[in-house]
Amino acid sequence: MGRVMSSPASYTRKPPGQRREEILAAAAGIALDDGLERITVRAVAERIGVRPGLISHYFPAVQDLMVAAFERAASSERTEVLLGEGTPTERMARFVAFFASEASVPLSRLWLNARHLSRFTPALAAAIAEQEAAYLERITEMVASGLSRGEFRTPDAGAAAVRILMAVDATTTYVNDPPGPERFGYSSFVADVAAWTLGLPEGALG
């Protein structure tokens, strides 16, 4: 078969670092919008208007791109959730309120997605462990500062942080459930667990 020699169309050429960044951002966007398994060479290429081969050029194995996209999406969202001013109690209340609100849906979906997929890709499991540790660290800091100010009362800041994080993960479990009135009893779980483990009166966090 005679190979047909064809001429590539014109294109704009970007510095490798920038292009790589662009690809990562596109993949992270797909992860949040449509799910990690929708990160395909073709989908990413289409999102930024290049040909599929270019994605493979920067990420020879698409799985590596998927893991990097999760890290990107998870860490950028994490800073948003945990930033802010106020007393530890106020910050904890905001943290709790976030996961009871609709605003947490994309992030929760991403985590549920990743936790399942980590069953098949160990690299993703490792990335999850890192992100989880980062969360835990921040929450532990928050609890510790509340302890030193006398706002919270709990024997072990780290253990309390684990409980709070687990309560958060419990609610993310249900993120894909169809909405309904019976969901009502579920929404206060994080606030209740946090108040319980921090020695606050029930309802003190929302």
**Which two tokens mark 100?**
């009871």
Does 123 contact its own copies by CB under 8 A?
Answer: no
| Number of residues near DNA (by CB under 7 A) | 32
> CA of 163: how far to CAs of 34, 40, 154, 191, in Å?
30, 36, 12, 11
Report, in angstroms and rounded to the nearest whole number, the Rg of the chain calculated over CA atoms: 21
Q: Which is nearer to DNA, 45 or 164 (CB)?
A: 45
Q: How far is the CB of 169 from its own copies (least distance, A)?
A: 4
Does 141 contact its own copies by CB under 8 A?
Answer: no
Does 120 contact DNA by CB under 7 A?
Answer: no
CB atoms within 10 A of CB 204: 15
Instruction: List the interface residues with its own copies, window 20-39 (CB under 8 A).
Output: 35
Q: Which does 169 bind (CB under 5 to 8 A by kind): its own copies, DNA, none?
A: its own copies
Q: Which of 61, 103, 133, 166 binds DNA (CB under 7 A)?
A: 61
Residues 28, 77 contacting (CB under 8 angstroms): no
> CA of 41: how far to CAs of 15, 48, 87, 126, in Å?
20, 11, 46, 23
Does 14 contact DNA by CB under 7 A?
Answer: yes
- Which of 115, 92, 97 has the alpha carbon at shortest distance from 173? 115
Q: How far is the CB of 162 from its own copies (least distance, A)?
A: 5
Binding region for DNA (CB under 7 A): 1, 3-16, 19, 39-43, 50-54, 56-57, 60-63
